[in-house]
A and B are shown apart, each in its own frame.
Chain A
Amino acid sequence: MTAATTLDPDSLNATADWQRRAMWIVVPLALVGLQLIFAGTRLPEHLDETFSDPLDDFAGWAQQNRSSNWLFTVIFRPLTSLVSTGLETIEETLLWVPWFVIPIAIFLYIARTRAWKSAIAASLAIIYPGLVGLWEVTIETLALMGMAIVLSVLIGVPIGVLAAFRRGFDTAIRPVLDAMQTIPAPVYFVPMVMFFGIGPVPATLATVIYALPPVVRLTTLGIRGVAQQSVEASTMFGATRWQTLRKVQIPMALPTIMAGVTQTIMMALGIVVLATLLGAGGLGQSVMDTLSQRRTGRGVATGLAVVAIAAVLDRLGRAVVGQDRATAPSRRTVLICVGGVIGLIIFGRSANYIAFPEMWETRAFDPIDDGVKWARDNLRWFTRAFNDTVVSWYYVPVRDYLTDSVAWPVIIASAAALGAWLKGWRLALLNVCAMGSILLIGMWELSIDTFVQVVAAVVLSILLAIPVGVAAGRHRRVEAALSPVLDALQTIPSLVYIIPAVTLFTIGVVPGLIASILYAIVPGVRLAALGIKQVPTESVEASQMFGATPRQTMFGVRIPLAARTIMAGVNQVIMLVLAMVIISGLVGGGGLGFETISAVKNSEVGLGFEVGFAIVMMAIVLDRSSQAIADRVGAPEVAAH
């Protein structure tokens, strides 16, 4: 690679080359100069209040006019009562029905598509929370999730369809969807609180907003992906647009749309815990409780209940559409089944056998607690050392150095220089604007605090993820062994594995760091494995034919050819670490995360917006920069075929 640049024969490039090299001296000198000039200057007077005051005023106004202004009486109040009626109805119905009817009904509903295995899996999965004494909270969460998912589909599919047909609309909503996915959920919890207060309704609506993008995107993708000739065939027969949409485009796009719904379900369950900040209650609240009690075993039990619900909803979602006419059960069978279910309900109600029987409840997972306790008592020499190393050798000094010693203009100028070097003046400008605005709203120090933690989590995640991913990409067995672990890490609420971390390391930055790594490592591993697997066999064989050692093939062929995909994984790692900033805030991570939580808890709208804004700015800078790095590192994309 270096050979290519030094051997460059084009003499015209020589001056440009020389200039480029000079930059390596000029830029650092300029930065040092800036540092000398600005050393010791304080941060500029914040425009802080200028931004947050109007927002706080607005929030105050909203608080006062909740009962009089049309915005509330005409829009928010009816919406609230509609959603809350829906939630209550679902929840009460599910609790009114004798418990054993629910797994049977789920089994029958899925079984009608002849997906026997998933029917059995789903009906067992729904029993699990009952076995560990979480039946009622699970029903509560199930109602909220079901409502949120149905709303997401009802809102998301039409939007996606519209976007598929209207380019302008598509271009308009795309950045909104991007933002919805980048902004950590608690950031828009704040306006939710402002408009809807605290309770299951704002929790549901926040979940809808958070989980909406995949349905919209995949609906658009699916509709666009329908073979043009099929659509034209329909048109040629004189079908109206609506007929074509209903009879051809939506049915043909259905598999893709359902993939979106599945993702939406997963995302909705992903913020089940955070939604408790808004008063969601249910399983999320139980997880929170286990955190404050430091009961890892109970936390795992509760976390698995969330996973179980995910599995149930996923299978149910598939069963809604997964039916060929060829395999449909006869009308008689359907009648018998429905009759049977009604019979069971009557039987259960009249025998008064309704609530889930109490069983092993809390005891089953106690061994885990014992294990964690043992580790806490016996591995103190290690945990203490690790904690102290991270905190006093990395976190505190670097944070203090960046806040106290390095002048802020130097940091912004460095970011600009980096942006310019990576991608050109646009990225430089973006970095300056984003960081400048963080500075102006008075979030500079908190952001640096968070940034230092994020960097640590990202670096450690990547150091772990790439070798593991490469190994998984090379060896099927490693991959097979890893796969369930990765799935679990992504579906179990991250707060669950923060519990042992808190027990072992006590409150502070380290548990958040560990949880972030565990959560964010997954796409890193997956994409590294994918990248390695996708390297064309021909390239590898070519290398081997020249007598390259496995090592040479790995570093000379496989990794460079996989670099683009691996870097996509790195980018995702960064975004997930950022998403965990808030969770870290829950366990003493400080920085923006802690501030967000207190803003939501105390309904400080202005502060909430500021922190949210800072997180989004940081996300944008890190996202664009890491993508720019990916573009530089990645091998040029090879044309398909």
Chain B
Amino acid sequence: MIGEAISSPCLSARGIWKIFGNRPRRALEMADTGASRAEVREATGCTIGARDVSFDALHGETFVIMGLSGSGKSTLLRCVARLSPLSRGSVILEGEDLTAMTEAELRSVRRAKLSMVFQHFGLFWHRRVIDNVAYGLEVQGVDRKTRHSKAEEMLDLVGLEGCGGSYPHQLSGGMQQRVGLARALVVEPTVLFFDEPFSALDPLIRRDMQDELLRIQTGIGGTVIFVTHDFDEAIKLGDRIAVMKDGEFDQVGTAAELIMNPATEYVEEFVKGVPRVKVLRVGDVLTELDGPAPPQRVPAGESLETVLPLLVANTDDIAVLDDHGTAVGRIDRAAVTRLIQPQP
């Protein structure tokens, strides 16, 4: 979650549709007249994988697509990454329409700007680790020496010093995905796609990898499109989260927005089990000042968890300060207590 550079859209998806099956046209026509996913399948045998999805991922942002398995996350990601053809819609990367490009143009955009990390790693098992990592440079025609030294650097960055000479199958699962990560990072991509990169890993290693990703992301600062089915992971990594269901976005927003105002029951289901004090920040829960600011004050960026002791110790409300130190609101003790109580 990087604050600074988030501003202009880097990657925009416009009205993306993806129909699986033999009669996509008929399926699109039906869907346009408002037919549901089930109705379309009944009538045409086609599955709607993505239905009119639009979003903007901003520069430097980590945009998470979250949903249960089968909700169409991979389908959407593969459309956006142009790995599979769209039925309708367009993908704009820094002003260029990826969907209108020839194969060769797309290839040069990929070489310059895109990368991807896969759920099952997608490693080249016949190549040594170093040659896996250097692959992106190799297809660009970078000479052997340069690409190997860059690859070594990247291996160091992901914590795989000295593993370059091994073959991927000699490494553990977590290390294999580090290879996948290094391979994706070495080309210095503008946009990095992740399709459930950590779900094949054990929980502890998964947490390590998430931390690793956050650390690296802070240093490099590309735009990340991250697919996951794990809401905790989404909260941990995502600046914004899109909740996906049946090929559509139910809601897009920050973790706090989703928690505070779930748009649908589906979103609410996910939000329910989340430990709110850990996720929410003071700024997320403030109420308007209706008088002079109370004496006790905390900055808006503080996590709710850290101000809990203050709330318990005090009987008064607490003032919330913005970055410049001016009071922008207060914490209503009663409201917060209600908020953090276990949900029915």
A residues sitting closer than 8 Å to B (CB atoms) are: 227, 229-230, 232-240, 243, 247-248, 251-252, 254, 324-326
Whether A325 and B114, one on each chain, are in contact in the complex, defined by CB atoms closer than 8 angstroms, is no
B residues sitting closer than 8 Å to A (CB atoms) are: 78, 81, 83, 107-112, 114-116, 118-128, 135-136, 138-140, 165, 167, 180, 183, 187, 193
Per the bound structure, the CA–CA distance linking A252 and B168 in Å amounts to: 13
Whether A236 and B115, one on each chain, are in contact in the complex, defined by CB atoms closer than 8 angstroms, is yes
- Chain A's closest residue to B195 (CB) is A229
Whether A239 and B119, one on each chain, are in contact in the complex, defined by CB atoms closer than 8 angstroms, is no
Whether A230 and B123, one on each chain, are in contact in the complex, defined by CB atoms closer than 8 angstroms, is yes
**A229/B121 contact (C-beta < 8 A), A234-B135, A238-B111, A243-B139 known:** yes
**A236/B126 contact (C-beta < 8 A), A229-B121, A243-B139, A326-B165 known:** no
B191 vs chain A, min Cβ distance (A): 11
7 tightest A-B contacts by CB?
Answer: A229-B122, A238-B111, A238-B110, A237-B136, A233-B122, A239-B139, A229-B118
Chain A residues, CB < 8 A from B126: 251-252, 254
Which residue from A232, A252, A325 sits with its C-beta under 8 Å from B83? A232
B249 vs chain A, min Cβ distance (A): 24
Whether B139 and A232, one on each chain, are in contact in the complex, defined by CB atoms closer than 8 angstroms, is no
Whether A236 and B110, one on each chain, are in contact in the complex, defined by CB atoms closer than 8 angstroms, is yes
Per the bound structure, the CA–CA distance linking A154 and B219 in Å amounts to: 50
Whether B187 and A237, one on each chain, are in contact in the complex, defined by CB atoms closer than 8 angstroms, is yes
Whether A232 and B118, one on each chain, are in contact in the complex, defined by CB atoms closer than 8 angstroms, is yes
Per the bound structure, the CA–CA distance linking A305 and B239 in Å amounts to: 72
B198 vs chain A, min Cβ distance (A): 15
* Extra contacts besides A229-B120, A230-B125 (19): CB < 8 Å: A229-B121, A229-B122, A232-B83, A232-B116, A232-B118, A233-B124, A233-B135, A233-B180, A233-B183, A235-B110, A236-B114, A237-B115, A237-B139, A238-B108, A238-B109, A238-B114, A247-B135, A251-B124, A254-B126
Q: Max chain B CB contacts within 10 Å: which of A230, A236, A251?
A: A236
Per the bound structure, the CA–CA distance linking A232 and B110 in Å amounts to: 12
Per the bound structure, the CA–CA distance linking A239 and B116 in Å amounts to: 13
Chain A residues, CB < 8 A from B111: 237-238
Secondary structure type dominating chain A contacts = helix
B170 vs chain A, min Cβ distance (A): 10
Chain B residues, CB < 8 A from A233: 116, 118, 122-124, 135, 180, 183
- Chain A's closest residue to B126 (CB) is A251
Whether A247 and B122, one on each chain, are in contact in the complex, defined by CB atoms closer than 8 angstroms, is no
Whether B124 and A230, one on each chain, are in contact in the complex, defined by CB atoms closer than 8 angstroms, is yes
**A238/B124 contact (C-beta < 8 A), A232-B116, A233-B116 known:** no
Chain A residues, CB < 8 A from B109: 238
**A238/B122 contact (C-beta < 8 A), A232-B83, A325-B128, A326-B165 known:** no
Whether A247 and B110, one on each chain, are in contact in the complex, defined by CB atoms closer than 8 angstroms, is no
Per the bound structure, the CA–CA distance linking A144 and B238 in Å amounts to: 65
Chain B residues, CB < 8 A from A235: 83, 110
Chain B residues, CB < 8 A from A254: 126
Per the bound structure, the CA–CA distance linking A252 and B107 in Å amounts to: 22
Chain B residues, CB < 8 A from A243: 139
Chain A residues, CB < 8 A from B116: 232-233, 236
Per the bound structure, the CA–CA distance linking A438 and B128 in Å amounts to: 59
Per the bound structure, the CA–CA distance linking A227 and B169 in Å amounts to: 14
Per the bound structure, the CA–CA distance linking A595 and B146 in Å amounts to: 69
Whether B110 and A227, one on each chain, are in contact in the complex, defined by CB atoms closer than 8 angstroms, is no
Chain A residues, CB < 8 A from B136: 237-238
Question: Could you name 29 residue pairs across A and B whose Cβ atoms are closer than 8 Å?
Answer: A230-B122, A233-B116, A233-B183, A234-B124, A236-B83, A236-B110, A236-B114, A236-B193, A237-B111, A237-B115, A237-B135, A237-B139, A237-B140, A237-B187, A238-B108, A238-B109, A238-B110, A238-B111, A238-B112, A238-B114, A238-B140, A240-B107, A240-B139, A243-B139, A247-B124, A252-B125, A252-B126, A325-B128, A326-B128
Whether A236 and B81, one on each chain, are in contact in the complex, defined by CB atoms closer than 8 angstroms, is yes
A242 vs chain B, min Cβ distance (A): 10
B206 vs chain A, min Cβ distance (A): 18
Per the bound structure, the CA–CA distance linking A170 and B308 in Å amounts to: 67
Per the bound structure, the CA–CA distance linking A230 and B120 in Å amounts to: 9
- Chain B's closest residue to A230 (CB) is B122
Chain A residues, CB < 8 A from B140: 237-238
Whether B110 and A237, one on each chain, are in contact in the complex, defined by CB atoms closer than 8 angstroms, is yes
- Chain A's closest residue to B128 (CB) is A325
Whether A248 and B114, one on each chain, are in contact in the complex, defined by CB atoms closer than 8 angstroms, is no
A307 vs chain B, min Cβ distance (A): 32
Whether B124 and A252, one on each chain, are in contact in the complex, defined by CB atoms closer than 8 angstroms, is yes
Chain B residues, CB < 8 A from A230: 122-125
Chain B residues, CB < 8 A from A247: 124, 135, 138-139
Per the bound structure, the CA–CA distance linking A236 and B128 in Å amounts to: 19
A114 vs chain B, min Cβ distance (A): 15
- Chain B's closest residue to A254 (CB) is B126
Per the bound structure, the CA–CA distance linking A569 and B102 in Å amounts to: 51
- Chain B's closest residue to A255 (CB) is B126
Per the bound structure, the CA–CA distance linking A252 and B122 in Å amounts to: 12
Chain B residues, CB < 8 A from A238: 107-112, 114, 136, 139-140
Whether B120 and A227, one on each chain, are in contact in the complex, defined by CB atoms closer than 8 angstroms, is yes
Chain A residues, CB < 8 A from B180: 233
Chain B residues, CB < 8 A from A326: 128, 165, 167
**A232/B135 contact (C-beta < 8 A), A237-B115, A237-B187, A326-B165 known:** no
Per the bound structure, the CA–CA distance linking A236 and B195 in Å amounts to: 13
Q: Max chain A CB contacts within 10 Å: which of B78, B111, B120, B124?
A: B124
Whether A227 and B128, one on each chain, are in contact in the complex, defined by CB atoms closer than 8 angstroms, is no
